[in-house]
Structure 1
Amino acid sequence: MKKMLKTRLALAALATAAVLPAGAAFAEYPEKPVTMYIGFNPGGAVDTTARLIQKNLEEALGVPVIAVQKPGGGGTVMATTMMHAKPDGYTIGMGASAAYVLAPLLNSDIQYTLDGFDHIATVSYPQDALVVKADAPWDTYADLIKDAKENGKSLSLSSQVSVSRLMAIAIEEKEDIKINVVPVKGGSEGIKNVLGGHTDMTWGASGWHAQVKAGEMKPILSLGYKRNEDFTDVPTMHELGIDYAFVDTFMLSAPKGLPADVKAKLEAAVMAAITPELAKELREKMYLTADYRGSVDTLEYLEMQREEVLPFVEKMLAE
């Protein structure tokens, strides 16, 4: 009896497959909602990028994209959580490149490496800069360094992330000056320290633009690989002869092992999602620059960042 039942079930399955159109026996990706982890708290630049692109991704993929906040550790909590998800394309993460490039180098407790993910595409990047108070006695980087050298002055830097600590090491090495790093919990606290006269300068992503436009602060150098679009008169560190640059680029990644067709569909969806209208919103809301790069170019960019910062990471760990 059991053998007869199995035979009937097999025949029924074959009959069903025979009447289905070609390719309908197996649903194509995606057939259900996609979860997008966001590696930072609501309201910031990464979160804003994720929220703005969410609707466009839904339209491109044809399924809902559900945003889930996973903040902590500069994006490392999100990356660690995502690492353990199934690599089927239904779990992706919006994060920043420092979590993949710097965190594994600086923290031995981090369980992943840069190439332990399938990085889908780059979405946007902030306009990083070193900023000082508007009434500070320095209008340029050269003024700042000249004052420090001639007066034997130690400069103070509010630092919320390792990116700016590495920047300080690069400047100290190039100029033979001392920079005292004052740890703070976030970019807004660093700005408050400078405005209150507690530190000379701070590093900022896109949060400093409002203060500059209000006449309260001024940028004196850019940490980018090219000049900031809204402040083209501010030179980059490379232009000033300092062998350091780092832009904490915002990107979508997935667990390692995505099927090739799924990865291609996600990559194409991100490209379609970055419309001129989205680029305009990113610029107007958070001074972010839309910058699509596919999976191959994104991985090459991350590897370039790692190579550039590695000498300074080694010096920082040796301190």
Structure 2
Amino acid sequence: MKKSLWLFSFFVLILAILPCPAQSAPAYPTKPIEMIIGFGPGGAADVTARLVAGYVSKKWGQPINVINMPGASGIIGTRHTLTAKPDGYTLMMDNHAVSAMLAASQIDLPFKWENRTVIARVTVDPVFYLVKQDSPWKDLKEVAENIRKNPKVFRWGVAGVTAVGAFAMPQFLEVNNLPFDSLNRVVFKSGAEVVTALAGGHIDLAAQQYSEVTGLILAKKVRGLAVVNPERLPGLPDVPPAKEVGYPNLNVYGWQGVSGPPQLPPEVVDKWAKS
């Protein structure tokens, strides 16, 4: 009896000191995810983020909350994302304006712009050169000649100093041998605000992305003079490619993608990349 009791106690002790079988962590994601946008609502990054969030939320059964953090040409939202905990629950809708174009236009950034985990590019967004629907200018050549004759009269809109228009419009001036200060620049918080201002006659010219301008072109509120794309786009066949109207060297375009803080776990990156 004593021997049996001793053996039972021995086995209980052994079981107590043995490590428990490892339990696998629950699969990511287990809670809502924040998708940060460095610009206001309605712009290209915002539109893309909401489409991605809707699709992924439904597929994964977890909310993807799109949060707009406009300010400082996208710096505020980008800094929030890149300094967040790298657990996959704070990501951003990355784009040209908060990556390469940001680095090209800003010297003293409060973070290292290249220190991010790039997950995937989602869209390529062609740039349209636009005027108001009832504008007297019928093509880009006419616009260039009128700027030459009337410098500092034209107003052009841009969604911050790192936005696609901040590079596309100076390139247009350069290829026409026009000085940069030929136009009066008006800065807005988002691409949606730019095209709305154009439709309302508050500015004369803009260079914005397909995702921002399509609705107003189809509604005949603004008119596309050219698109930076190898061929005409199926939904907007009346807008010629820039090369068709004598501007083959116009090559600025936008893009959007998903990125996160540096050192995101590989399983998080893989989950997003495969979705």
**Shorter-normalised TM range:** 0.7 to 0.9
1:180 to 163, 180, 183: 183
Measured against aligned partners, the alpha-carbon deviations of 1:288-308 in whole angstroms (never above 9, x if no partner) come to xxxxxxxxxxxxxxxxxxxxx
What residue number does 2:255 align with?
Answer: 249
For 2:192 and 2:66, the matched residues in 1 are separated by: 25
* Equivalent AA in structure 2 for residue 264 of structure 1: D
Compute the TM-score of the two structures, normalised by the length of structure 2.
0.75
Residue 200 of structure 1 pairs with residue 204 of structure 2? yes
Aligned CA distance change for structure 1 residues 59 and 147 (closer, same or farther; 3 Å): closer
What residue number does 1:266 align with?
Answer: 272
Compute the TM-score of the two structures, normalised by the length of structure 1.
0.66
Question: 8 Å contact 2:147–2:154 — kept in the other structure?
Answer: no
What residue number does 1:123 align with?
Answer: 122
Residue 214 of structure 1 pairs with residue 212 of structure 2? no
Runs of 5+ consecutive residues of structure 1 not aligned to the other structure: 1-7, 18-23, 270-319
Runs of 5+ consecutive residues of structure 2 not aligned to the other structure: 1-11
Aligned CA distance change for structure 1 residues 195 and 87 (closer, same or farther; 3 Å): closer
- Greater shift, 90-99 or 43-52, is seen at 43-52
Aligned CA distance change for structure 1 residues 230 and 172 (closer, same or farther; 3 Å): same
Question: 8 Å contact 2:43–2:192 — kept in the other structure?
Answer: no
What residue number does 2:3 align with?
Answer: none
**Pairing 1:1-319 to 2, within 5 Å after superposition:** 12=16, 14=18, 16-17=20-21, 25-27=23-25, 29-30=27-28, 32-39=30-37, 40-61=39-60, 63-148=62-147, 152-154=149-151, 156-161=154-159, 162=161, 163-178=164-179, 179-186=182-189, 187=191, 190-191=194-195, 194-195=198-199, 197=201, 199-205=203-209, 206-224=211-229, 227-237=232-242, 240-269=246-275
Aligned CA distance change for structure 1 residues 88 and 238 (closer, same or farther; 3 Å): farther
Question: 8 Å contact 1:225–1:245 — kept in the other structure?
Answer: no
Aligned CA distance change for structure 1 residues 229 and 116 (closer, same or farther; 3 Å): farther
* Equivalent AA in structure 2 for residue 183 of structure 1: V
For 1:42 and 1:84, the matched residues in 2 are separated by: 23
Measured against aligned partners, the alpha-carbon deviations of 1:125-152 in whole angstroms (never above 9, x if no partner) come to 5453111123333222233335555xx2
For 1:177 and 1:89, the matched residues in 2 are separated by: 46
* Equivalent AA in structure 2 for residue 257 of structure 1: Q
For 2:81 and 2:60, the matched residues in 1 are separated by: 20
> Would you identify which runs of 4 or more consecutive aligned residues in structure 1 move more than 6 Å?
none
Measured against aligned partners, the alpha-carbon deviations of 1:144-169 in whole angstroms (never above 9, x if no partner) come to 335555xx233624222343232232
Measured against aligned partners, the alpha-carbon deviations of 1:176-195 in whole angstroms (never above 9, x if no partner) come to 23531322324455446545
Aligned CA distance change for structure 1 residues 224 and 98 (closer, same or farther; 3 Å): farther
For 2:46 and 2:196, the matched residues in 1 are separated by: 22
Q: Once the 2 structures are TM-superposed, how far is the Cα of residue 227 of structure 1 from its aligned partner? A: 4.2
**Bigger radius of gyration among the two:** 2
Question: 8 Å contact 1:221–1:234 — kept in the other structure?
Answer: yes
Q: Once the 2 structures are TM-superposed, how far is the Cα of residue 62 of structure 1 from its aligned partner? A: 5.0
For 2:183 and 2:27, the matched residues in 1 are separated by: 52
For 1:125 and 1:61, the matched residues in 2 are separated by: 25
Measured against aligned partners, the alpha-carbon deviations of 1:261-287 in whole angstroms (never above 9, x if no partner) come to 331122112xxxxxxxxxxxxxxxxxx
Secondary structure in 2 matching 1:209: helix
For 2:232 and 2:111, the matched residues in 1 are separated by: 32
Considering fraction of residues, name the structure with more helix: 1
For 1:222 and 1:170, the matched residues in 2 are separated by: 14
For 2:215 and 2:255, the matched residues in 1 are separated by: 21
The alignment's C-alpha RMSD in Å is: 3.2
Aligned CA distance change for structure 1 residues 64 and 167 (closer, same or farther; 3 Å): closer
Report how many aligned residue pairs link the two structures.
254
